[in-house]
Structure 1
Amino acid sequence: MALMTPQFQARRSPLEGARPGRAARRAALPRPATVLTGAGLALLPWMVVLAKTLPQAAEVSHWSTAWIGLDAMLAAGLTGTGVLLRRCDPRVVPVAAATAALLLVDAWFDVTTSAGTGGQGMALLLAAGAELPLAALCAAVAARRTG
């Protein structure tokens, strides 16, 4: 009988004895947090490879298309955030969060790709005076609406 006391009983998994179904299949899949953490950590050695192998300068095809596309996404994000915010629409949260991220990316690439050129001053001015403040505003909208 001593082996039957609670402290000696084998611990059972919550899924043990459950009929196989959605819960069992879901438990077999990796959790999103694990996948995302693993993907982020996997990028660290890849960044070292890129730092050692990418050229300092490169000729880029469709440069204007890439920048116009990014600006089009920014225009849609800023306009969408404003319209949804004005309507008190809860869908403003993901739109504002995505727009904040796009603004940060735009500022980063404007400043880094202009380094050592005559356009670097303008890129820094736009980053400090427009892109980063707008990113902070969008992030604040997203954070305020989620809480």
Structure 2
Amino acid sequence: MRPESVLLVSGAALVPWLYVLARTLPSTARVGHWNVAWVGLDALEVLGLLSTAALRRRGDDRHRLTAAATGALLVVDAWFDTVTAAPGGELAAAVAMALCAELPLAAVCTALALGRGRRTVHDDPRLTLGRRPTRR
């Protein structure tokens, strides 16, 4: 089976599962290792931002891959921060972080992943493999 077919069938099969989850999951849960989950997510974001910057600085096209993954992580972080926040100050802080940091960074990452603002060896003759890019 072709990968496109597997993805299509899998995506379609998950639609009824979403309904099951929405109807059966409790609205609250007590979980262990909550701190580890959030530190792990933020650590992945740090790794993604730093690796995207380093790859792009070298003119390496693989920065688009790390940018795409990092953008997705930032959107997930914004989503879970806001939907898990307690009403009041905690929710206000989560919304502020989402609007002022996570979502704008996700937009930058998405633009880089899609090739906007290109700065690669193929586009810029000042960039050569194995050398640091020159300043503009």
TM-score, with length taken from structure 2: 0.82
Aligned alpha-carbon RMSD (Å) = 1.0
Of 54, 59, 63, the match for 1:83:
54
> Corresponding residue for 2:78?
107
**2:100 pairs with 1:129:** yes
> Corresponding residue for 1:55?
26
Higher RCO (CA 8 Å, separation ≥ 6 residues): 2
Q: Give every structure 1 segment of 4 or more consecutive aligned residues whose post-TM-superposition deviation is greater than 3 Å.
A: none
How many pairs were matched up? 116
> Corresponding residue for 1:65?
36
> Corresponding residue for 1:45?
16
- Larger Rg, first or second structure (1 or 2): 1
- Secondary structure of the 1:119 match is helix
What amino acid sits opposite 1:108 in the alignment? W
**2:7 pairs with 1:36:** yes
Cα offset, 1:136, TM superposition: 0.5
What amino acid sits opposite 2:75 in the alignment? L
- 1: CA distance, partners of 2:102 / 2:86: 17
Cα offset, 1:38, TM superposition: 0.7
Query: Percent same amino acid at aligned positions?
Result: 53
Structure 2, unpaired ranges of 5+: 119-136
- Secondary structure of the 2:15 match is helix
Q: Pick the structure with more helix per residue.
A: 1
